[in-house]
Amino acid sequence: MEYDYLIVGAGLFGAVFAHEMTAKGKRCMVLERRPHVGGNVYTEEIAGIQVHRYGAHIFHTNDAAVWQYVNRFAAFNHYINAPIAMYQGRVYNLPFNMNTFYAMWGVRTPAEAQKKIAGQIAAAGIAEPKNLEEQAIRLVGQDIYERLIKGYTEKQWGRSCRDLPAFIIQRLPVRYTYNNNYFNARWQGIPIGGYTQLVENLLKDIPVQLGSDYLTERDNWQGRFGRLVFTGPMDTYYDFAEGALEYRSLRFETETLAMENYQGNAVVNYTERKVPYTRVIEHKHFEFGTQPQTVVTREYPQAWSKDAEPYYTVNDERNNALYSQYAARAAVEPQVLFGGRLGSYRYYDMDQVIRAALDAAEAEING
Ligand code: FAD
Ligand code: UDP
């Protein structure tokens, strides 16, 4: 046996797991289909700016151990995410807070804002929200739903808010304070020098084979490792035997502009349905960059097909049930460990993926 673990995927789950098991004296080999490590947190330098190739990534966590852990592999800056939303040429702060309510209705105090929103919630008369639309209106009322949620969500997910699960919107805070911090997390920041460096540090001295798809090379690996860790989509591992799990994909359009500052903020959401992209990222603002040029990325939601990258899992009833069928297969295949966002079919943030990988490594050692 050449390796104790063959780890498929050099994203955060694979890298953390490989690091932990190597530290315990296990022999690990990492396979990665893409030409680089990092998975979706991969960053590359363009014009001296760290560009988030697969979408903006802001690290945030309430997990003290995970925060300490990532700080061993990168120094983090003090970036706080405070996106703005653009709707019909007007600017609104996100998440929904007193600045948003002031821009929306001119209300200045929490009591005025609460009265306005409570009035709209009462007028909608929704007792038990059955879908995202009802959940959103019950949370923030009709005006905010129409201007800041409906168009963005429908283009993001490619379906009506009435056909989407309510939980998607529960991620967004609603605050009656003038606080534009998108997250409630205790710790937040961006790794100085980019995420790729963080993942490279995790994988230091561990063999990694890039441009290598495990699924087309299974025969080659037969009998050469003890246990397999698979962080790709679970349905691909089983050759879609139960049917294909659904995802939402994205297309990124990146350009370098000969100006210092394009939009004055790292993240600007376009919440109108008719604008084809959901957000424009200006990467230098994640790191307080002062370069003479700037790099911006427009993010276009796309239908998913088997050739497209599976960025977001679609956790509706049908897909969750299908995933359970795959999970039942996995349960009787103890020599394979499925992990990460795709392997678990969960809307995991980075800190949750790291936590899951640390727990999985711990369980391997201590049972
Ligand atoms: P991945 O990063 O997807 O890594 C899996 C790797 O496995 C990939 O590199 C893939 O190429 C490889 N692979 C798959 N199949 C095979 C195969 N058959 N053979 C070889 N290799 C294979 N989280 C946050 O905390 N904050 C954010 O701001 C944030 N923003 C996000 C924005 C977007 C647009 C997206 C899509 C996600 C965002 N996330 C964010 C979530 C974050 O990206 C994930 O939590 C994290 O990257 C998941 O790591 P992973 O290792 O599970 O998966
Ligand atoms: N959302 C919205 N308007 C916005 C931003 C987000 O309606 O301007 C909704 C949308 O449904 C989205 C969800 O909130 O899918 C979660 O947003 P988040 O920014 O957490 O999404 P992610 O970074 O995972 O794409």
Is the residue at 229 inside a domain? yes
Is 171 annotated as catalytic?
Answer: yes
Is the residue at 279 inside a domain? no
The answer, yes or no, to whether any atom of ligand 2 lies below 6 A from the CB of 314, is: no
The answer, yes or no, to whether any atom of ligand 2 lies below 6 A from the CB of 81, is: no
The answer, yes or no, to whether any atom of ligand 2 lies below 6 A from the CB of 196, is: no
Cα separation, 287 vs 77, whole angstroms: 7
pLDDT(232) > 90:
yes
Is the residue at 262 inside a domain? no
Smallest-distance ligand from the CA of 228: 1
Q: How far is the CA of 107 from the centre of ligand 1 (A)?
A: 40
The answer, yes or no, to whether any atom of ligand 2 lies below 6 A from the CB of 94, is: yes
173 pLDDT band, cuts 50/70/90, is confident
pLDDT(294) > 80:
yes
Residues 240 and 332 in one domain: yes
- The candidate with the shortest Cα–Cα distance to 285, out of 135, 87, 77, 99, is 77
Give the mean model confidence (pLDDT) for residues 197-206. 98
Cα separation, 44 vs 305, whole angstroms: 26
Q: How far is the CA of 67 from the centre of ligand 1 (A)?
A: 19
Crossing angle, helix 350-366 and helix 12-23, to 10 degrees?
A: 30
Residues 150 and 200 in one domain: no
pLDDT(316) > 90:
no
From the alpha carbon of 279, which atom of ligand 2 is closest?
Answer: 8
Is 251 annotated as catalytic?
Answer: no
pLDDT number for residue 158: 95
Percent of the chain clearing pLDDT 90 (strictly above):
94
pLDDT(20) > 90:
yes
Residues 105 and 151 in one domain: yes
From the alpha carbon of 132, which atom of ligand 2 is closest?
Answer: 11
Sheet arrangement for strand 90-93? 90-93, 84-87, 267-270, 279-282, 294-303, 247-257, 312-313
> Do the Cβ atoms of 314 and 26 come closer than 8 Å?
no
Residues 156 and 196 in one domain: no
pLDDT tens across 53-66, in order? 999 999 999 999 99
pLDDT tens across 101-117, in order? 999 999 999 999 999 99
**DSSP-assigned states of every residue in 162-229:** GGS-GGGGGGS-B-SSS---S---SEEE-BTT-HHHHHHHHTTTS-EE-S--GGGSHHHHTTSEEEEE
Give the mean model confidence (pLDDT) for residues 240-269. 97
Instruction: Tell how strand 294-303 and strand 247-257 pair up.
Output: antiparallel
Give the mean model confidence (pLDDT) for residues 279-286. 98
pLDDT number for residue 181: 97
pLDDT tens across 352-366, in order? 999 999 999 999 999
pLDDT tens across 126-171, in order? 988 999 999 999 999 999 999 999 999 999 999 999 999 888 887 7
The CATH number of whichever domain residue 345 belongs to comes to 3.40.50.720
pLDDT(262) > 90:
yes
Cα angle, residue 298 at apex, residues 185 and 232 outer, rounded to 5° = 65
Residues 120 and 207 in one domain: no
**DSSP-assigned states of every residue in 85-144:** EEETTEEEESSBSHHHHHHHH---SHHHHHHHHHHHHHHHT-SS--SHHHHHHHHH-HHH
pLDDT number for residue 306: 85
Residues 11 and 151 in one domain: no
Q: How far is the CA of 254 from the centre of ligand 2 (A)?
A: 21
pLDDT number for residue 14: 98
Residues 220 and 328 in one domain: yes
pLDDT number for residue 172: 80
Write the residue with the smallest CA distance to atom 2 of ligand 2.
149
Write the residue with the smallest CA distance to atom 33 of ligand 1.
55
pLDDT number for residue 307: 87
pLDDT(334) > 90:
no
8-state DSSP, 239: T
> Do the Cβ atoms of 120 and 126 come closer than 8 Å?
no
Annotated catalytic residue: which of 34, 53, 147, 248? 248
Cα separation, 157 vs 364, whole angstroms: 37
288 pLDDT band, cuts 50/70/90, is very high
Is 359 annotated as catalytic?
Answer: no
pLDDT(44) > 90:
yes
Residues 130 and 160 in one domain: yes
Q: Which residues line ligand 1 (CB under 6 A)?
A: 8-14, 31-34, 39-41, 55-59, 213-215, 231-232, 250, 311, 340-342, 348-351, 353
Is the residue at 284 inside a domain? no
Integer CA distances (angstroms), 312 to 41, 152, 362, in order: 14, 15, 27
Task: Report residue 7: phi and psi, to 5°.
Answer: -110, 120
> Do the Cβ atoms of 149 and 278 come closer than 8 Å?
no
Residues 161 and 195 in one domain: no
Q: Provide the token pair at 269.
A: 């959401």
Task: Report residue 25: phi and psi, to 5°.
Answer: 90, 10
Model-wide pTM > 0.75: yes
Give the mean model confidence (pLDDT) for residues 335-347. 95
Cα separation, 295 vs 56, whole angstroms: 13
Q: How far is the CA of 257 from the centre of ligand 1 (A)?
A: 28
Is 349 annotated as catalytic?
Answer: yes
Print the domain residue range for 361. 3-41+190-245+314-366
Cα separation, 84 vs 265, whole angstroms: 8
pLDDT(51) > 80:
yes
Residues 143 and 17 in one domain: no
The answer, yes or no, to whether any atom of ligand 2 lies below 6 A from the CB of 172, is: yes
